[in-house]
Structure 1
Amino acid sequence: MSNVTEEGRMGWSVGEAAPAGCGLRAATHDGVRTIWFDRPDRRNAMTLDMFRDYYAALLAADRDPAVRAVVVTGTGDWFCAGADPQALGALLDPRHRDLLVREFGFPPHLPLTLGTPIVAAVNGGAAGLGLVHALYADVRFLAEQARLATAFSRLGLVAEYGSAWLLPRLVGVGNALDLLVSGRKIDAAEAYRMGLAQRVLPRDEVLPAAQAYAADLAAHCSPTSVAVIRQQVWSGLETGAAEAGADSMRLMAESLAGADFAEALAGQVQGRAPRYAGRSGA
């Protein structure tokens, strides 16, 4: 794997190789970091360490000036089956529950705080925590064969990791309650009708299409603009129209005075793609 950057466990530096057995692998090409959930023999189910590793990998990508978009996908036929059954069984022990709740090390909504856009290439089934990871992406590409389920209510659990906040904002209150209360499986076509998916494609086209979309973002969109737009959208869900409008005027004035706007205009005049610098403040 030449010209490929590998990421991994919390605290790894950019460019450091992933230790064996971490359950993730990653590669960077043309400004896009692709992260795979990589336990195909376990349907890419997550241990607590793997969950930490994934969030650490997102942080590493966000801090890497060579990365301008992230694609997350699964190895094999599943995107992610959720928490590993053995990990769930361990949570019957109060000590392990305390470790999960108080010592996880990251806020559950970490993906929403980053400046780098995330595209989910959902290559197969996604359930529970696996579906939550797809929800925290900005855009979701689904395989035609994909089946999705929140699953929490069928395990005697509640809507975990902010999913009760996310789902109503993505698909509306009625659809969110349907998915969360019933825990039923839906196919890719129903997910698309709900607005939960932006593309539905044959399985072998999902990852290439998601990577091409992310590469277009990396090549043609200002990293600073993308980071600010993500912040505007997510924070705007909690503010009134007047506040959001006033904030947009302030941010617009800043962008008009920014180097990326001048570079975009220069690129148009000269008939070339813009050459944006790295994200401001990154």
Structure 2
Amino acid sequence: MSQYEDLIYEVKGRVGLITLNRPDRLNAWTAAMEKSIKRALAAAVQDDAVRVIVITGAGRGFCAGADMGLLQQIKPANWEDRELAQATREETFDFRNDLGPDVTPHYGGRFGYLFQIRKPIIAAINGPAAGLGLVFALYADMRFAGSDAKFTTAFAQRGLIAEHGISWLLPHLVGPAHSLDLLLSARKFTAAEAERMGLVNKVFEQETFMGAVMDYATVLAETVSPRSMAVMKAQIWKALFQGFNEALEVGDSEMQKSFGTADFKEGVAHFVEKRKANFTGK
């Protein structure tokens, strides 16, 4: 049996591509997918050839949320014994990043480990993203959407609440007023509206969507320092829990450390010599 059930993991150049793979169910989230996503991310982190991670969905959807079969099994008395909770506990990896400030104390729960991963993670939202699928996308460092993509928080229409940290993540992206609208109404909204609100970084035409996302990921993978990206990712996610002076102090300290790295020397050398950069992440 493949170690990636309900998911495909492949490496394209320097990009690790993770594809949620239940296209007949709009990639509805399963316990097997929960385990597989951690395994695939661990493989991408451990592979020095991979510098950027892209997560997308097979077929016409990104992720329609938790599989309804799993939701129907939930009972208040066995909350911690539900299949998804067990899957979260069973697959454990140490994703802590030794570059930049430590973000581990700030991001726990089911998907907080994505913020610990030193490599940038891009959610390529190719189609519908609902409920848990939308929440998961918010844990990516950046989000791009296809022009046909649709979104909904869905929770209020299921008798649920703002789950898995979305009550913190969403306001930090789009503000409290937009967050309350999207959560309370559970209405569907388009990729264009998501871009206007700041929920996604950019919308690409559906016909060229994955090519455009992979082109952007390749630029990151091939033209900038992996070490710089790792430190800056940690700086940004840490700064949400810092005052300005503390963030400034961390930045000054990290800048001094960078002066002694091979990537800094290469960054200056390739500019002066007018050639393509050859960053090593060291």
Normalised to the residue count of structure 1, the TM-score between the two structures is 0.88
**Cα distance in structure 2, aligned partners of 1:31 and 1:172:** 34
Does structure 1 residue 254 correspond to structure 2 residue 257?
yes
Matches within 5 A, 1:12-161: 18-19=2-3, 22-92=5-75, 94-95=77-78, 97-99=80-82, 100-101=84-85, 104-105=88-89, 107-108=109-110, 109-161=112-164
SS state at 2:88 partner: coil
Q: Using CA pairs below 8 Å that are at least 6 residues apart, which structure has the higher relative contact order?
A: 2
Q: 1:272 aligns with which of 266, 275, 281?
A: 275
User: 2:7–2:21: 8 Å Cα contact kept in structure 1?
Assistant: yes
> 1:107-146 CA deviation, whole Å, 9 max, x = no partner?
4211111101011111100001111121111221111111
**How many pairs were matched up?**
262
> 1:17-51 CA deviation, whole Å, 9 max, x = no partner?
8347x110021111001111110111100112212
| 1:111 counterpart letter in structure 2 | L
**Cα distance in structure 2, aligned partners of 1:131 and 1:242:** 33
Identity %: 42
| 1:34 counterpart letter in structure 2 | L
**Cα distance in structure 2, aligned partners of 1:269 and 1:213:** 25
Structure 1 counterpart of 2:234: 231
User: 1:45–1:82: 8 Å Cα contact kept in structure 2?
Assistant: yes
Q: CA RMSD in A?
A: 1.7
**Cα distance in structure 2, aligned partners of 1:223 and 1:167:** 28
Structure 1 residue runs without a partner (length 5+):
1-16
Structure 2 counterpart of 1:163: 166
Structure 2 counterpart of 1:214: 217
**Cα distance in structure 1, aligned partners of 2:222 and 2:179:** 35
**Cα distance in structure 2, aligned partners of 1:102 and 1:84:** 15
Q: 1:179 aligns with which of 178, 182, 193?
A: 182
CA 1:74–1:115: 2 relative to 1, 3 Å: same
| 1:268 counterpart letter in structure 2 | F
**Cα distance in structure 2, aligned partners of 1:274 and 1:94:** 57
Give 1:57 deviation, angstroms: 1.3
> 1:65-91 CA deviation, whole Å, 9 max, x = no partner?
111001111111101101011011122
> 1:237-278 CA deviation, whole Å, 9 max, x = no partner?
011111111111101111122211111111112221221113
User: 1:90–1:96: 8 Å Cα contact kept in structure 2?
Assistant: no
| 2:36 counterpart letter in structure 1 | D
Normalised to the residue count of structure 2, the TM-score between the two structures is 0.88
Give 1:190 deviation, angstroms: 0.7
Does structure 1 residue 241 correspond to structure 2 residue 244?
yes
Q: 2:266 aligns with which of 257, 263, 266?
A: 263
| 2:142 counterpart letter in structure 1 | V
